[in-house]
């Protein structure tokens, strides 16, 4: 996977990165909360890149209830 960083922001222990996967022609969102250790990475629709960057928790993958 060849990733190109499009944007990054940090605030109060949160790190949000927006990446471009040129092999898959896909936007990837990465989120890390250094305070809690919570993190995720997910593909987002290319047309929703800015919204995902500004509101990453709306794009958080669903977790199993098990």
Count of beta carbons in the 10 Å neighbourhood of residue 47: 8
How far CA 1 is from CA of 4, 18, 46, 55, in Å, comes to 10, 15, 17, 25
What's the confidence (pLDDT) of residue 47? 95
Helix (H) or strand (E) segment spanning residue 50:
helix 49-54
CATH fold for the domain made of 3-59: Nuclear Transport Factor 2; Chain: A, (3.10.450)
pTM comes to 0.88
Characterize the bridge pairing of strands 14-21 and 3-11.
antiparallel
pLDDT in tens, 16-65: 999 999 999 999 999 999 999 999 999 999 999 999 999 999 999 987 55
Enter the tokens of residue 56: 């990453």
What's the confidence (pLDDT) of residue 63? 75
Reduce the DSSP state of residue 1 to 3 states and report it.
Answer: coil
């Amino acid at each position: 996977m060849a990733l190109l960083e499009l944007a990054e922001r940090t605030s109060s222990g949160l790190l949000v990165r927006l990446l471009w996967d040129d092999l898959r022609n896909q936007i990837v969102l990465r989120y890390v909360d250094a305070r809690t250790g919570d993190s995720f990475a997910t593909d987002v629709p290319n047309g929703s890149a800015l919204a995902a960057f500004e509101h990453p928790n709306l794009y958080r993958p669903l977790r199993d209830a098990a």
